[in-house]
Chain A
Amino acid sequence: MTGDHRSLALLLFGLFVAATLAITTLVSRRRRGSPEEFYAGGRLFSPMENGFAIAGDYMSAASFLGISGLIALYGYDGMLYSVGFLVAWLVVLLLVAELVRNCGRFTLADVVAARMRERPVRIAAGVSAVTVCVLYLVAQMVGAGSLVVLLLGGSSATAPTWTVIGVGALMVVYVVFGGMRATTWIQIVKAVLLLSGAVLLTAFVLVRFRGDLGALLGTAAERSGHGAAFLAPGLKYGGDWRSRLDFISLGLALVLGTAGLPHILSRFYTVPTARAARRSVVWSIGLIGSFYLMTIVLGFGAAALVGQQAVRESNPAGNTAVPLLAADLGGGPGSTGGAVLFGVVAAVAFATILAVVAGITLASSASVAHDLYASLSRSGAGRFSEVTVARTASVGIGIVAIGLGLLARNQNVAFLVGLAFAVAASANLPVLLYTLFWRRFTTRGAVWAVYGGLVPAVVLVLLSPVVSGSPGSLFPQADFHLFPLENPGLVSVPLGFLAGWLGTCLSEDEPDEAKHAETEVRALTGAGAV
């Protein structure tokens, strides 16, 4: 990488940071200290604004760089990811978005607590929400650290460390001073930047092949050395039964996890009504779907124009395929156009990570303050206001995320994201669906559903080959892997549903008819919604 790349990327990224800090300042000048303002940004965003913000929250660097990189290296198998990430939104749209908007105020626990005994349910849902957030946060921080090395060519050992610390500090500043309103605007700016970058590169690729997609795929398959197999599944996940089962497990986690991600659920509270929540999801499905279609073009474009070997030499996991493609499209490495496009892509990737971590930090601080602190402090409301606690919590979460991000900096980013999805699908989705749709569901069922998904998911990961027993694992020397799959979803998601059912059946107290009636009426009509 030349100095041109680096200075331009840093300049553009500096502009983004300046713009986001300006937004935060603007918002914080007239901040009111209410939870409504801090967690939900005043609830008056329009569906289109919120749709862009949801898309911004969801399209992480993992999908921009990771999926196109996987496609560049393994062809069709990379596409399986994008399909899972997109279809997941149908679960959100049909089963979750409107009902959650109608029943809750700020967090997932609100929805469950409205029907159940509040304290145990809130603590359980709060714990699982914070767990998911921290896992997701660490994944993004690790991604930020490795991105610096990959894109800016910093060979020094301290560069990733300082990046992780810098990203952590910035995200805390956004959240503490700007709350949900600043975070939402940052997501919108980032979504527009990311989509523009993707549109620009896709247009360049299509122009290069004169709009002939068949020629694009043909060239990619030919240059990959795999021929027609490059355009069919099996290159990455076609090995033994274990890798096939692992992929099915990942597919399950992806499609069911999105509806349990706390930072996605909290976005529905930034719009005034359930109908507006539905329309924001429709917007975001349009944006996210188009984006993933473009990453497919970019991935095959990188395979055709840059070539697998160059991609693999730059980064074995393929994460630099898109920046390399950008340099090639701009006129090849070393040219001015190439440096400009490379810098733009690098800056967009940084902006992406920064915005995503801000959204997750906010969601987890809401869970700590609104669910855990309020339930655990015996004197009820406690001595401090909820927003003060939330601000403090976001500083604490920032520190934890920086620490874990530094510890896990050699971990594979995609694995950490897949793990966060698996935990969300196992611990959050069963309790949410049971609460909304099952008449006989009880408090014990709710608590069991959360822990019954959370504990197996975490334990199975600890016992998986990711943590021990293989050269790429966290502890390569030790070997205590008893579970063959890397992703626990295939086992832990059914366990979460089973535990919720079992807990309900073994419950001593009768299900509360009136509370169920109230939940159902509120969920479907919006009566009494805030």
Chain B
Amino acid sequence: MDDHDERDPGTTRLDDPWRDETESRDTDSGDDQLPNVPEIPALRSRGTWESSHETPGASGRICTRPGRDGPGTASAGAGSREAVYLEVHRSPAFREVRRRYRRFVLPATVLFLGWYFAYVITSTTAPEFMARPVAGGLNIAFLAGLGQFATTFLLTWAYARHARLRRDRAAMELRWAVYEQNRHHGDTGQEQVR
């Protein structure tokens, strides 16, 4: 049951998210090219995602834990790391990823929370309305309740699909860019939370 102990952590971490997707990506996501990629030097020098994907050994290093830097480089590393994150934050590529995320998530959240509270409030304040029969012994209340289940499943599917096709690849590109930039500055980009 603990078979994943034996997997090599370095490659698993990177391969795992893409494992079931390498085939579908080419046909399915033609619209997923990164906009204005050259803003970040690391992206320009590296070329496309496909070329890096063929060298999992190199990209696997993104995820390995960093060794400790000497105390002398620590403060310089922090400053440059800040600069890297600010630069990526301003880049059109990142803004596009954020825009795609927000444009899906914010309206969806307003919709499903609105639909849920409408359901709860109608159920508690207007039970007579909810009891009105519709068809085949089912009333409005039952249709609305089962509708909540249906919309939850549907939105889950839609969100997962949207994230997979519209965001995942661009996010991975940026993750790689940050890593490259930080390595350039002598910092691995790993966040030391404590």
Q: A-side interface residues toward B, CB under 8 Å?
A: 23, 26-27, 30, 42, 44-46, 76, 79-80, 83-84, 86-87, 89-91, 93-95, 98, 104-105, 110, 113-114, 118, 181, 185, 214, 217-218, 228-229, 231-234, 237-238, 244, 247-248, 251-252, 255, 272-273, 275-276, 278-279, 281-282, 285-286, 289, 292-293, 374, 513-514, 517-518, 520-522, 524-530
A84 touches B120 (CB 8 A): yes
B65 touches A86 (CB 8 A): no
Q: List which B1-59 residues lie within 8 A (CB) of chain A.
A: 1-2, 4-5, 7, 9, 12-13, 16-17
A86 touches B152 (CB 8 A): yes
What CA separation (Å) do A522 and B109 show in the bound complex?
A: 22
Q: Is B82 an interface residue (CB 8 A)?
A: yes
Q: Contacts A26-B2, A80-B123; is A524 near B101 (CB within 8 Å)?
A: yes
B120 touches A522 (CB 8 A): no
Q: Contacts A95-B109, A273-B17; is A278 near B124 (CB within 8 Å)?
A: no
A89 touches B141 (CB 8 A): no
Q: B-side interface residues toward A, CB under 8 Å?
A: 1-2, 4-5, 7, 9, 12-13, 16-17, 63, 65, 81-82, 85-86, 88-90, 94, 97-98, 101, 105, 108-109, 112-113, 116-117, 119-121, 123-125, 127, 130-131, 133, 136-137, 139, 141-142, 145, 148-149, 152-153, 155-157, 159-160, 163-164, 167-168, 171-172, 174-175, 178-179, 182, 189-191, 193-194
Q: Which residue among B7, B109, B155, B163 has the maximum number of chain A CB atoms within 10 Å of its CB?
A: B163
What CA separation (Å) do A247 and B152 show in the bound complex?
A: 21
Q: List 22 A-B contacts (CB under 8 A).
A: A27-B2, A44-B7, A76-B142, A83-B145, A90-B112, A90-B152, A105-B193, A185-B1, A214-B137, A231-B142, A233-B131, A273-B16, A275-B17, A276-B16, A286-B153, A292-B149, A374-B194, A518-B81, A522-B191, A524-B94, A527-B88, A530-B193
Least Cβ–Cβ distance between B177 and chain A, in angstroms: 8
What CA separation (Å) do A530 and B192 show in the bound complex?
A: 9
A530 touches B4 (CB 8 A): no
Least Cβ–Cβ distance between A84 and chain B, in angstroms: 7
Least Cβ–Cβ distance between A226 and chain B, in angstroms: 11
Across the two chains, which residue of chain B brings its CB closest to A214? B137
What CA separation (Å) do A90 and B142 show in the bound complex?
A: 21
What CA separation (Å) do A270 and B4 show in the bound complex?
A: 12
What CA separation (Å) do A44 and B11 show in the bound complex?
A: 12
Chain B residues within 8 Å of A526, by CB: 171-172, 175
A93 touches B88 (CB 8 A): no
B139 touches A514 (CB 8 A): no
A520 touches B16 (CB 8 A): no
Across the two chains, which residue of chain A brings its CB closest to B113? A255
B9 touches A44 (CB 8 A): yes
A232 touches B17 (CB 8 A): no
Q: Which residue among A86, A238, A528 has the maximum number of chain B CB atoms within 10 Å of its CB?
A: A528
A282 touches B109 (CB 8 A): no
Least Cβ–Cβ distance between B187 and chain A, in angstroms: 10
Contact of B137 among A110, A218, A525 (CB under 8 A): A218
A113 touches B141 (CB 8 A): no
Contact of B193 among A87, A98, A110 (CB under 8 A): A110
A289 touches B120 (CB 8 A): no
Contact of A520 among B89, B116, B155 (CB under 8 A): B89
What CA separation (Å) do A105 and B192 show in the bound complex?
A: 10
17 extra interface residue pairs, beta carbon distance < 8 Å, beyond A94-B155, A95-B109, A273-B13:
A89-B152, A228-B139, A251-B116, A275-B16, A289-B153, A517-B88, A520-B89, A522-B85, A524-B98, A524-B101, A525-B97, A525-B172, A525-B178, A527-B189, A528-B178, A528-B182, A529-B175
What CA separation (Å) do A95 and B112 show in the bound complex?
A: 13
A91 touches B141 (CB 8 A): no
What CA separation (Å) do A237 and B121 show in the bound complex?
A: 11
Chain B residues within 8 Å of A293, by CB: 149
What CA separation (Å) do A285 and B193 show in the bound complex?
A: 30
Chain A residues within 8 Å of B167, by CB: 524
What CA separation (Å) do A183 and B65 show in the bound complex?
A: 25
What CA separation (Å) do A26 and B3 show in the bound complex?
A: 12
Q: Which residue among A45, A217, A229, A234 has the maximum number of chain B CB atoms within 10 Å of its CB?
A: A234
A228 touches B131 (CB 8 A): yes
